[in-house]
Structure 1
């Protein structure tokens, strides 16, 4: 699996534009929902990078999926040792967190749940060749390709 070319799929430009639009609308208070935003220093510049993410809460734990395994936010999180902040609104205090990449046996159930958690996000993964179909089985097969991170409070 380590040679799977899907490991290097980066977020398409449309996602970057969508994220910029979401962040701007969030900052203006125009969103009818809370938008979790991960902030992590850029691996080269050190400049804070803001990425809207879908957070999945289950069993008292929170998770995020790297739907585009070559995405900058994933590389930045790894370079930062998992240290980041998570905020849900423009006026919310950022929560210091540590993103811990989980082993395959913990990643698979999160990936299998992902089509229910974010059908739109999975649709974009299908459109961009990360996965062939938006089913729990297809997403579960991405174990070891798409990273899954548990969000822990920073200590």
Structure 2
């Protein structure tokens, strides 16, 4: 498994993520944003981070643009969590998508959010070949989300 991680910079942590999370907690989705809540794999405490909820053919996915970050490790351990938008809380289960099944999902994700996250994909974009998308697939975990309520 890849260990690829791109840690966020000061601006992302202290300004951008906080602003998106603040708006999302108040019910204002920014380009499909949600606040992801997942129990920590060691502490058991809820951990939150803003994410983009991708919908393809009626199914929901979470893509880790920055790679194998803390929420992805926690998601593997917990098998699900909550997606929050304002007062709406959707409990979900999650299953990791195999690298071979990521190509179309990464393409859809980049088509929608390349301006925001494209820098994390090593020059690969929505118009890149399947081979290029397949090459970066191991670096970007993708989870299929099944909302329970």
When normalised by structure 1's length, the TM-score is 0.77
- Residue of structure 2 in register with 1:9 after alignment: 5
Aligned counterpart, 2:36: 38
- Distance in 2 of aligned mates of 1:41 and 1:12: 21
Alignment-derived partner of residue 125 in structure 2: 134
| CA distance in 2 between partners of 1:88 and 1:25 (Å) | 9
Q: Which runs of 5+ in 2 are unaligned?
A: none
Other-structure match for 2:98 = 103
Shift of 1:35: 3.0
Indicate how the Cα distance of structure 1 residues 140 and 49 shifts in structure 2: closer, same or farther if over 3 A, else same. Answer: same
The answer to whether the 8 Å contact 2:24/2:34 transfers is no
In the alignment, which of 44, 52, 66 is matched to residue 68 of structure 1?
Answer: 66
Is contact 1:122–1:134 with CA below 8 Å preserved after alignment? no
Is the CA contact (8 Å cut-off) linking 1:85 and 1:95 kept in structure 2? yes
Q: Measure, in 2, the Cα distance between the counterparts of 1:86 and 1:32.
A: 12
CA separation in 1, counterparts of 2:54 and 2:39? 23
> Which one has the bigger strand percentage?
2
Contact 1:62 1:152 (8 Å CA) reproduced: yes
Unaligned runs of 5+ in 1: none
Aligned residue pairs total 143
TM-score (norm 2): 0.80
SS in structure 2 of the partner of residue 43 of structure 1:
coil
Q: Is 1:11–1:70's contact at 8 Å kept on the other side of the alignment?
A: no
How big is the alpha-carbon RMSD for the aligned residues of Structure 1 and Structure 2?
2.4
CA contact (8 A) 2:29 2:85 kept: no
